[in-house]
Amino acid sequence: MEYNIRKDLINIKELFNLSNSELATKFQVDELRITRILNGEIHPREEFMNIIYNYCFTKGLRLNVQKEMFYKEELENNHILLTHASKEGIIGNISIKYSKLANDFGPGFYCGDSYNNSISLVSRYPNSSVYFIDFNPESLLKKEFKVDLKWMLTIAYFRGKLKKYKESPIIKKIINEIENVDYIIAPIADNRMFQIIDSFIEGEITDEQCKHCLAATNLGLQYVFLNDKAINNLSILERCFISTNERKYYLDKQIEFQNISRDKTKLARIKYRGKGKYIEEVLQ
């Protein structure tokens, strides 16, 4: 899917009250090129789009965040606006066939519940983008998780961390509960969360410590679509271009958030020390 540069450039022109000639001067190209982009005759290269979107961002226009607001307002009743973070872009139609096995809930198409959360996952990748997706949950079966023991064990299982406990009745029950659902709603887990869960699985901290440490690193919710039936209820609305300035902004915010959540995690380990059960006690 191409970026919607024509529509964005039209909005930029009107928002900043610029003529075609003034746009050409600011972006250091000839006026004819600007005119052809605005008329939809050509689609510029990403290097030139980066100049345009960098200009917007430095002017304080958070174009992608504004788009998210409008899409939410315009959705049909009961539809949900989701975002998909992609390191390289979606190839062809939405599919789970490119998904890795060792994801939070196995193979699936993973989406977030906000633009800010999704871009934070891919801001360090130079070719990444974020997609806005219209989700219609009608006639689909779902399973919801929160930050608790069941969620921790489910992620650990699909990440291959519970092989020695695979025969545990608790693990079998958890897996059985999601076998027939079409999609899952659960907290997003990143590398920091995996490290905390690993500490629990390796017996370094209790389930209570783990739960509160994970809550301190909250990244929002993810929607995981597990089969074609669920995929068919998704429609891509737009692919968002992420300029270098925007990437840096969100990367800096991510580093700041990581520092804050790291301190909260340390405090949670201290506050809940000795409370709860270790993995051997949970799955004995």
- Indicate whether 101 and 56 sit together in one domain: no
- Indicate whether 277 and 151 sit together in one domain: yes
Asked if the structure places residue 106 within a domain, the reply is: yes
Q: Using CA atoms, how far apart are residues 186 and 207, in angstroms rounded to an integer?
A: 18
What CATH number corresponds to the domain at position 12?
Answer: 1.10.260
Asked if the structure places residue 4 within a domain, the reply is: yes
Asked if the structure places residue 47 within a domain, the reply is: yes
Asked if the structure places residue 14 within a domain, the reply is: yes
pLDDT single digits (tens) 65-77: 999 999 999 999 9
- Indicate whether 9 and 142 sit together in one domain: no
pLDDT at 234 over 90: yes
Residue 195 has a pLDDT of 85
pLDDT at 140 over 80: yes
Nearest to 228 by CA among 107, 79, 127, 65: 107
H-state helical runs in the chain: 5-15, 20-27, 31-38, 46-58, 63-74, 115-122, 149-158, 169-178, 191-201, 207-215, 228-231, 244-271, 279-282
Residue 73 has a pLDDT of 94
Residue 77 · residue 134 · CB < 8 Å: no
- Indicate whether 40 and 121 sit together in one domain: no
Asked if the structure places residue 81 within a domain, the reply is: no
- Indicate whether 122 and 261 sit together in one domain: yes
Asked if the structure places residue 67 within a domain, the reply is: no
Express as a percent the part of the chain with pLDDT over 90: 54
Identity of residue 72: K
- Indicate whether 111 and 17 sit together in one domain: no
- Indicate whether 40 and 178 sit together in one domain: no
What's the gap between Cα 19 and its chain centre?
36
HSE, side-chain direction, 13 A CA sphere, residue 164: 7
DSSP conformation class of 76:
P
Q: What is the mean pLDDT of the chain?
A: 90
- Indicate whether 98 and 227 sit together in one domain: yes
Residue 131 · residue 236 · CB < 8 Å: yes
Residue 276 · residue 204 · CB < 8 Å: no
Residue 164 has a pLDDT of 83
Residue 54 confidence class, pLDDT cut points 50, 70, 90: very high
Q: Which two tokens stand for residue 262?
A: 């790291």
Asked if the structure places residue 154 within a domain, the reply is: yes
Q: Kindly write down the DSSP assignment for every residue of 225-237, as one continuous string.
A: E-SHHHHTTEEEE
Strand order of the sheet with strand 221-225? 142-144, 183-187, 221-225, 109-112, 80-86, 129-135, 234-240
Least confident of 32-36, 128-132, 149-153, 218-222: 218-222
- Indicate whether 35 and 170 sit together in one domain: no
Express as a percent the part of the chain with pLDDT over 70: 99
- Indicate whether 144 and 227 sit together in one domain: yes
Instruction: Give the residue, 268 or 186, on which the prediction is more confident.
Output: 186
Residue 129 · residue 240 · CB < 8 Å: yes
Residue 99 has a pLDDT of 76
- Indicate whether 27 and 92 sit together in one domain: no
- Indicate whether 55 and 94 sit together in one domain: no
Bridge-partner residues for 186, per DSSP?
222
Q: Kindly write down the DSSP assignment for every residue of 83-114, as one continuous string.
A: EEEESS---SS--STT--TTSBTBSSEEEESS
Give the domain-ending residue among 61, 78, 108: 61
Residue 181 has a pLDDT of 96
Residue numbers of the domain that contains 108: 88-126+138-231+243-282
| Domain tally, the chain | 2
Asked if the structure places residue 171 within a domain, the reply is: yes
